Amino acid sequence: MIRDLTHGSPMRLILGFALPTLLGLLFQQFYNLMDSMIVGKLLGAQALAAVGSTNSISFFVIGFCSGVCSGFAIPVAQKMGAGDHSGMRRFVANAAYLSLLFSVLLTALTGIFCDGILTVINTPSDIFSDAYAYIFIIFMGIPTTFLYNLLAGIIRSLGDSRTPVYFLALSSLLNILLDFVFILQFDAGVAGAAIATVISQGISGLTCLLYMVKKYPVLRMAKAERRLDRPSCGTLCAMGIPMGLQYSITAIGSIVLQSAVNALGSTYVAAIAAGSKLYQLLACPYDAMGATMATYCGQNAGAVKLDRLGRGIRACSLLGAVCAGVILLSMILFSNQCAMLFLDPAEPELELLVSLASQYILISCSFFFPLALVNILRFSIQGMGYSVFAILAGVLEMLARTAVGYFFVPAFGYTAACFASPAAWICADLFLIPASIACIRRLRRDLPVIRDVPPDTDSLPSAQNVLDTPVRRPGGPAPAGQSSRTL
């Protein structure tokens, strides 16, 4: 179902869009968690540590892929909000061409340098071979990552946050089944968990593609719209590459931190791995809010309804504060039990592992409202069209995690590692809060404002006509034409 986010109550629209998105993310995390639970319980803590030791480099590469796809979806959302369906289809076609190119290059590069990367981050020797087997297969599955994330991003840009959930549900169930098949039946170890993840994501992406072809007439392209178009590719790269780099820049700090934790030994690596998996599940509401705000701000910026931007950000921030309080209370009560989901009760150091994992998640949850603001503000800025601007928040996160990993973990040990992410979120917020205000003010200065009106009002010109109308700034002459920056 295609949904217009430029009319109606921002809180109601954000909730209606975010809840299906959240459900999809929970399915995605569910099969990631099942990987860890199955690996931890069937193969032991060392196998779990091997998978966990690759989290930072996986975030560096897979995060770049996801960020690029999210950036490619923003011009689609803006054209959707502006009512320019032909331009929207042209962006979709060229996003597909660019995704194919990026996936081939990244698969080749990561395959060549995989061994060297694991060596650089000080992967412990007792888990090195398992870590390599797992992450190499994940890297070989990069094309499936691009396939699903691009298609899901395009669908969400049209205002449909429900359809991707169905395919993730299918993928989750398939992933669990394949985990048992490859680990138990074929004795494939951690490599089996990676194979299951890649296959399930590939099937999810292909079924998503077939559904889009059949169910979205608005995406059916004329021959001219399918052509490779250099200006469209330039706009897509201007949005997608900065968003991808933002994830990768943030991940550099995580890699430095992971290297410091690896030096503490495999017990601490396993504890961080268990705590991180639980954190990824608990942080899903904030990921959903970020995806929602990218589409919400993209459509409203495209429709030049700038008054709705601040209202949407405030509404979503309130939701983030409520979620942070509920999650923290839940983890105060149940963090030990949740940590046990990823650990074998027969582990000789079980009590220590549970204590360390619980410490990690409680410290992280105490700072979940700053995390909420990071996602809400960053994706709102990107939806407005300022992807390069949002990179600076990733740089601050990188610097904070690098400082903790390089200076504080060697001095204060595991506890310092637990505070690395909260420090990164706070540093990012110190930039993002004033940056989001500045972006809205800049849009107000550069573009005319259409105030929110009931959807049946016919007194306003179309959004596309407004976009094509020259803007007269106070005290200055009317410009010759609109800026070439996509809005």
Q: Examine residue 139 and state whether it is found in any structural domain, yes or no.
A: yes
Average pLDDT over the chain reads 83
Q: Examine residue 470 and state whether it is found in any structural domain, yes or no.
A: no
Q: Which helix (H) or strand (E) holds 205?
A: helix 189-215
**Residue 325: per-residue pLDDT:** 95
Helix axes 230-262, 55-82, angle to 10 degrees: 150
**Is 260:406 a contact under the CB 8 Å cutoff?**
yes
**Residue 459: per-residue pLDDT:** 35
**Residue 110: per-residue pLDDT:** 94
Average pLDDT over residues 299-303: 85
**Residue 5: per-residue pLDDT:** 79
Average pLDDT over residues 5-29: 84
- Is 329 buried (19+), middle (13-18) or exposed (0-12) by CB count in 10 A? exposed
Number of domains in the chain: 1
Residue scoring higher pLDDT (273 or 92): 92
Longest C-alpha distance within the chain, in Å? 76
**Residue 451: per-residue pLDDT:** 57
Q: Examine residue 348 and state whether it is found in any structural domain, yes or no.
A: yes
Residue 95's domain spans which residues? 10-450
Residue scoring higher pLDDT (51 or 35): 51
Say if residue 362's pLDDT is above 60.
yes
HSE (side-chain half, CA atoms, 13 Å) at 375: 22
**Residue 476: per-residue pLDDT:** 36
Q: Which of 35-39, 56-60, 110-114 is the least confident region?
A: 35-39
- Is 44 buried (19+), middle (13-18) or exposed (0-12) by CB count in 10 A? middle
**Is 63:247 a contact under the CB 8 Å cutoff?**
yes
Distance, CA of 192 to CA of 39 (rounded, Å): 10
Q: 41-54: per-residue pLDDT in tens?
A: 788 878 878 887 88
Distance, CA of 42 to CA of 183 (rounded, Å): 8
**Residue 2: per-residue pLDDT:** 64
Residue scoring higher pLDDT (151 or 38): 151
Say if residue 39's pLDDT is above 90.
no
Q: Examine residue 98 and state whether it is found in any structural domain, yes or no.
A: yes
Long-range interactions of 180-189: CB distance < 8 A, separation 24+: 180/38, 183/38, 183/39, 183/42, 183/43, 184/42, 189/43, 189/47, 189/130, 189/133
Distance, CA of 159 to CA of 365 (rounded, Å): 30
Residue scoring higher pLDDT (459 or 277): 277
Say if residue 487's pLDDT is above 70.
no
pTM, two decimals, is 0.72
Q: Rounded to 5 degrees, what angle do the CA atoms 76, 82, 84 make?
A: 70
Q: Examine residue 196 and state whether it is found in any structural domain, yes or no.
A: yes
**Is 233:175 a contact under the CB 8 Å cutoff?**
no
Give the confidence band of 187 by pLDDT, cuts at 50, 70, 90.
Answer: confident
Q: Examine residue 2 and state whether it is found in any structural domain, yes or no.
A: no
Q: 62-80: per-residue pLDDT in tens?
A: 889 988 998 898 898 888 8
CA dist list (Å): 250 to 392, 408, 431: 10, 18, 14
Token couple for 12: 């109601």
Radius of gyration of the chain from Cα atoms?
22
Q: Which helix (H) or strand (E) holds 229?
A: none
Residue at token pair 């089944």 = 177
Q: Examine residue 483 and state whether it is found in any structural domain, yes or no.
A: no
Distance, CA of 63 to CA of 319 (rounded, Å): 25
Please name the amino acid found at residue 210: L
Say if residue 471's pLDDT is above 50.
no
Q: 237-271: per-residue pLDDT in tens?
A: 988 888 888 777 777 777 778 778 878 887 888 88
**Is 418:363 a contact under the CB 8 Å cutoff?**
yes
Distance, CA of 62 to CA of 58 (rounded, Å): 6
Q: Examine residue 465 and state whether it is found in any structural domain, yes or no.
A: no
